[in-house]
Structure 1
């Protein structure tokens, strides 16, 4: 009997742990709650295009960071945003800032990107741990999810026991060496992105502190 109780408790704890991996995914893009300025980015580890582990806290400690969260390389609005930020990469570097762009794309997909710079790194958040920690993850409705999967190559993922599609709301954070957020821009309307001039101004304000 004791063994049965112990097994039941173990299964219950395991279920709770598994469920916790998908508890911060909103039901719609308009219902996300992005991490606000003044808060610290959680210490997490992601993978680069070669599958190597990258500890975010260690990267943040190197210099001011522009953290871009995007939906994936399949998204034309995201690709345009990454390209536009690439145009001001030199200016950001002069301000002492690096660029880290994160998406649900797996490392193999990231390897297809033409962005190749030591100061502009793409990382994989294919398990959505960072998107959830930043309060950006949301579930697509079934109709939209099917369209995205069939026409844009987005795969269904199993989260919290449900075969659904979850994506991050596109966002930009400016973070200091301690991982503290100084600036945040997140918009449920994925077609509207932060301008390069505003991003430069935000980074400049952090570098002058």
Structure 2
């Protein structure tokens, strides 16, 4: 019986997408608290603010490691294109933030037809303010300063309404989960 249970669990693990097996984690500012201000620029180098990025109901702010070298981030950024219209219809803006330079983000956005803002935080000031810097990369490592991937859904006035994060940098909440989460908000 034990081997049958193990075989079923193994077969299920092979059939389910990796995101379905990831454990949710609780990182960053708590739901119901005011989110830190953005200390980032857009891909053109202009300062970014919640007020400018948010829709009438708020902002979906996605933290990614790098649009330049992280294939999981690149796939997520490309996939998020499918959510932009639905989020706008629900009253939310969409933006993604990484430690990449504005130039890297502008090139990625142009190459991949990204129509939502990609924000640059090269000193990881916003990443640190959110408390989500990935601690596994020491100073001097090329990935020092990257965030743990996470999504924060902020109200128009900057209060964290919901957050989504999964254990490990390979696991990202799918667009359907983001849209379902936004739909459940008051």
Paired residues, number: 157
Per the TM alignment, residue 80 of structure 1 is displaced from its structure 2 partner at its CA by 0.8
Summarize deviations over 1:119-138 as a string: whole Å, max 9, x none.
x1100011111111111013
**Per residue, is there more strand in 1 or in 2?**
1
Corresponding residue SS for 2:59 = strand
Pairing 1:134–2:113 present: no
Between 1:187-196 and 1:60-69, the stretch displaced more is 60-69
Q: Please show how residues 62-73 of structure 1 align to structure 2 within 5 Å.
A: 62-73=56-67
Pairwise CA RMSD of aligned residues? 2.3
Pairing 1:179–2:158 present: yes
Larger Rg, first or second structure (1 or 2): 1
From 19, 34, 45, the counterpart of 1:40? 34
Corresponding residue SS for 1:109 = helix
From 55, 60, 70, the counterpart of 2:54? 60
Corresponding residue SS for 1:111 = helix
| Unaligned stretches of 5+ residues in structure 1 | 1-30, 155-164
Corresponding residue SS for 2:153 = strand
After superposition, the Cα gap between the structure-2 partners of 1:192 and 1:111, relative to the gap in structure 1 and judged at 3 Å, is same
Per the TM alignment, residue 197 of structure 1 is displaced from its structure 2 partner at its CA by 1.4
Summarize deviations over 1:27-59 as a string: whole Å, max 9, x none.
xxxx99421211111223311111111223443
Question: C-alpha distance in 2, partners of 1:61/1:179?
Answer: 12
| Unaligned stretches of 5+ residues in structure 2 | 1-24
After superposition, the Cα gap between the structure-2 partners of 1:44 and 1:93, relative to the gap in structure 1 and judged at 3 Å, is closer
Question: C-alpha distance in 2, partners of 1:109/1:63?
Answer: 30
